[in-house]
Amino acid sequence: MNLHESIVQILGNFEADIEIISCFLTSRLKRINKSSLLWHWMKKMTILVIFNKLEEKQGSQYLSDSQFYNKIVSRAFRSCELHYMNYYANNFIHWIIQFNMIVLGIEDGDYLFHQLQKHCRQALSDSSLWMNMKNYIKCIQGSVQHDNQIIEEYNRINLSYGVPLRIHSKKQLISPNKSDEDIIVGEFQWLVKVQCKNVAPFSNLIESAQTKTVLKRLNELIQLHGFKHNAAKIESLIELRSRMIG
């Protein structure tokens, strides 16, 4: 992989390579789809081809119009479709969420959220996807751990490629289109209406809640829609979360 990276760097054809590698990562072959080296290379190219250009453009306006950005996000989710509970693809998606909201402090016109919402709803038993729904909500709340590591990684990659751009501290997310509470309540309500039998989607949303007011609304939704599947267990999770909040 080091030789490949060196050749791409010498030729300067990062845009062509991000197209090729993102296609590889939608392969049905696990050894390709779940290659940690390929996903790490995708991280590097995403910084070099997409995120670094935000310094010269209009932030989120550029990001939402970027074909490369939309392509890598959609292909990462395609990778999740092909391989159930795909840790590598979901880790990459989580990294993009954190990078957008924590490192750059921008949003992407809800492109990633709509992809995340669609794929979560299509795969109710995929706890890795629903964990990313929780990660997305946590980023909106600003309650993210290891944000300094993400910034250090960004600076280290730029340094290794001779790019002078550096970020020294995390940025405040600029007016997210949806509040964390709107997402929690909206997704919980949808799960109740479709009578979801899996507990993981509910538990990830409940763990994201930061106030007893939101938890009370979730309890009310269970009663309102006559939810039957694992209702007692989900209500106990809500009660436990309420105690943790204090």
Domain spans in the chain, listed from the N-terminal domain onward: 2-175, 179-246
CA–CA distances in Å: residue 208 to residues 119, 148, 201, 214: 19, 21, 11, 10
**How much of the chain, in percent, has pLDDT values that exceed 90?**
61
In this prediction, residue 178 has a pLDDT band, given cuts at 50, 70 and 90, of confident
Per-residue pLDDT at 198: 96
Q: What's the mean per-residue pLDDT of the chain?
A: 89
Residue 1 has pLDDT above 80, yes or no: no
User: What does DSSP assign to residue 51?
Assistant: G
In this prediction, residue 143 has a pLDDT band, given cuts at 50, 70 and 90, of confident
Residue 58 has pLDDT above 60, yes or no: no
Q: Mean of the pLDDT values across residues 93-117? A: 91
Pairwise CA distance, residues 102 & 220, whole Å: 33
Per-residue pLDDT at 61: 63
Residue 167 has pLDDT above 70, yes or no: yes
Per-residue pLDDT at 37: 92
Residue 22 has pLDDT above 80, yes or no: yes
Residue 56 has pLDDT above 60, yes or no: no
Lowest mean pLDDT among 65-79, 112-126, 158-172: 158-172
What pTM was computed for the model?
A: 0.92
